[in-house]
Amino acid sequence: MSDSRPFIPIGIAILTVSDSRTEADDTSGGYLVNAVRESGHRVAEKRIVPDDIYRIRAVVSGWIADPEVNAVITTGGTGITGRDGTPEAVAPLLDKEIEGFGELFRAISFREIRTSSLQSRALAGVANATFIFCLPGSSGACQTGWEELIREQLDHRHMPCNLVMLMPRLDEK
């Protein structure tokens, strides 16, 4: 971290993808809401949608178009079962994929859950200057993704570089 750089709070939207979760028992989404706020960022919106490609895509598309949303974090739907469709919903929306995110996430997860990490299809990318991170549905995976990868990249003070430096919408304010 650089003491000479200011912290820049950004708007982060959180989407839980699940056929069974409600606000009362959404521990993964709840973890992300708390982590985002504790880091000094603003939760732009938090929603839960079923494992349906088109409903996921509709919500994420709306956030991509919203100038108050600088980043989106999804949790759930990244596995390999028949209903898991978050990567298929999000990938067509991306202008560019950040391949290293999924690779690093699985490498870090391997230390924790060994070969089960290859069942994760975590991915990230950018669309309309909005950074999107798709994490698995477990609260442990959300914690790993936030603590090990996302938090520092969404902190303008992180050196030598971070994603906030690349957000043109922040220059418009």
pTM for the structure as a whole: 0.94
- pLDDT tens per residue across span 63-107: 999 999 999 999 999 988 888 999 999 999 999 999 999 999 999
Q: Are 17 and 130 in contact (CB under 8 A)?
A: no
What pLDDT, on the 0 to 100 scale, is given for residue 171? 52
What pLDDT, on the 0 to 100 scale, is given for residue 173? 43
Q: Are strands 123-127 and 11-17 parallel, antiparallel or unpaired?
A: unpaired
Give a yes or no: residue 6 inside a domain.
Answer: no
Give a yes or no: residue 125 inside a domain.
Answer: yes
What pLDDT, on the 0 to 100 scale, is given for residue 120? 86
Give a yes or no: residue 137 inside a domain.
Answer: yes
Give a yes or no: residue 140 inside a domain.
Answer: yes
What pLDDT, on the 0 to 100 scale, is given for residue 79? 86
CATH number for the domain including 76? 3.40.980.10
Q: Are 93 and 52 in contact (CB under 8 A)?
A: no
Which residue numbers in the chain have pLDDT < 50? 172-173
The Cα-based distances of 58 to 62, 120, 127, 164 in angstroms read: 6, 23, 14, 25
Helix (H) or strand (E) holding 72: strand 71-75
Give a yes or no: residue 114 inside a domain.
Answer: yes
Give a yes or no: residue 44 inside a domain.
Answer: yes
Give a yes or no: residue 3 inside a domain.
Answer: no
Give a yes or no: residue 106 inside a domain.
Answer: yes
For the chain, the domain total comes to: 1
Domain enclosing residue 103, as ranges: 11-172
Percent of the chain at pLDDT > 90 equals 80
